[in-house]
Amino acid sequence: MNTVRKPMLLVLLCCSAAGCGNERSSPRPETPTLSHDEVPSEKEGAVKEAEVTGAVTHDENQLAGIHRLFKISDRIYSGSQPEGEAAFASLKKLGIQTVVSVDGAIPQTELAHAHGFRYVHIPIGYDGVPRSACDSLTRVMRELQGPVYIHCHHGRHRGPVAAAVAWVASGDATNQEAVAILEQAGTSRNYSGLWRDVENFQPAPAEATLPELVETAEVSSLVTSMVEIDLRFDRIKASRQRDWKSLPGQPAGEIGEEAVLIQEAFTETNRHLSQDFDASFAALLKESATAAGDLVAALQSDTFDKAEEAFQRIEKACMQCHRQYRDH
């Protein structure tokens, strides 16, 4: 199979000092490349070549129910959350044996079992990959057989990050090669913790005891999510009082990352934890996420009048939510 080769320059540009201690003298597999112009196979029922050569695809007709498919190695694929029966049938075509979700949503275990897949749930956030999650991904690569499909919700950020960690854990990639995966997948640099943890990841020793693999992991409760949101909002509020500058001891741009993470916290809370409340609660979370997105854009463009407006919208939505759902 012919694959467009990845320029080595990108690999070098992606290498950070923190993640370059994993070199080997043996030949390395080349980093997968993204190509949107490869010619797909026309054989009926065959998986098209553009879908299995490291290409991120936006064409939902290529593999039904799967988006942003990315082949990292012969054993590791990443992409979006599988959508329905058709998605699991598509994964079957690829020869996948295990589906790993790093999303917070409840995994589709029944559909997976119906198609003969094992499901593993290792939820992670947008602020980084905890050591326990790294160890679980390591166990997946050391103990489970056959190709693995690793997904988050949309397949752009957490999924490729977890797949990059798994690639290093498999022993087939260096940290800088794994970082190049994030470049190719379009993982946002706003999620600096995700990039940091791929750059710095070192697999646990062979003799280490690794976490049990579970099909449905415990995820944060609504109370936990709200505590996280309150803490991040307090840091944003303190920065606002300093004319939108980072707090003492924080790197420049830290406040922008807090805004990104609070946006994701509102979005994920709405996705996973708002079902037990009425439509008004979900609407308030959605408005808060939208306002947080506007705050991110304003801080990135240094338009602080718009940042102030977005901040006040978040504050208003939070106060209304507290009055309706918390304070009585």
Question: What CATH number is associated with residue 113?
Answer: 3.90.190.10
Please check whether residue 298 lies inside any domain of the structure. Answer: yes
What pLDDT sits at residue 6? 35
Q: Does a structural domain hold residue 86?
A: yes
Same domain, 236 and 110: no
Whether residue 249 is found in the same domain as residue 189 = no
How deeply is 207 buried, as exposed, middle or buried, from its count of CB atoms within 10 A (0-12, 13-18, 19+)?
exposed
Q: How far apart are CA 318 and CA 323, in angstroms?
A: 9
Q: Give the pLDDT confidence score for residue 55 in this predicted structure.
A: 46
Q: Are residues 81 and 176 in the same domain?
A: yes
Q: State whether 189 and 245 are in the same domain.
A: no
Domain co-membership, 280 together with 153: no
| Residue 33 domain-assigned (yes or no) | yes
| Shared domain check, 240 and 187 | no
1 found inside a domain: no
Domain end among 169, 200, 231:
200
What is the per-residue pLDDT for 18? 33
pLDDT attached to residue 34: 38
**112 and 253 housed in the same domain:** no
Name the nearest CA neighbour of 127 among 211, 202, 188: 188
- CA–CA gap between residue 178 and residue 15 (Å, rounded): 9
Q: What is the pLDDT of residues 110-160, one digit of tens each?
A: 999 999 999 999 999 999 999 999 999 999 999 999 999 999 999 999 999
Query: Do 191 and 57 fall within a single domain?
Result: yes
Q: Tell me the angle at which helices 254-273 and 222-240 cross, rounded to the nearest 10 degrees.
A: 150
Our count of domains for the chain comes to 2
Query: Do residues 242 and 98 share a domain?
Result: no
Q: Alpha helices, DSSP H only, in 14-108?
A: 84-94
The C-alpha atoms of residue 303 and residue 293 are separated, in whole angstroms, by 14
Q: Could you tell me the two tokens for 101?
A: 């979700």
Evaluate whether 112 touches 118 at the Cβ level (below 8 Å).
Answer: yes
Q: Which CATH number belongs to the domain containing residue 253 in this structure?
A: 1.20.120.10
Indicate whether 113 belongs to any domain. yes
Do residue 130 and residue 81 come from a single domain? yes
76: its two tokens: 């590791």
Q: Is 217 within a domain?
A: no
Q: Are residues 233 and 169 in the same domain?
A: no
In which domain, by residue range, is 315 found?
222-326
pLDDT at 161: 98
Regions of the chain where pLDDT drops below 70: 1-62, 249-252, 326-328
Predicted pLDDT of residue 252: 65
Tell me the two tokens of residue 29: 């597999």
Task: Tell me what pLDDT residue 288 has.
Answer: 94
What is the pLDDT, as a whole number, of residue 246? 74
Residue with structure tokens 């998986």? Answer: 47
**Could you tell me if 193 and 240 lie in one domain?**
no
pLDDT of 327 reads 59
pTM passes above 0.75? no
Are 160 and 95 within 8 A, CB to CB? no
Does 2 map to a domain? Answer: no
pLDDT tens-digit series, residues 277-319: 889 999 999 999 999 999 999 999 999 999 999 999 999 999 9
Amino acid at 110: E
Residue for token pair 């934890």: 273
Q: Are 47 and 25 in contact (CB under 8 A)?
A: no
Could you tell me if residue 211 is inside a domain?
no
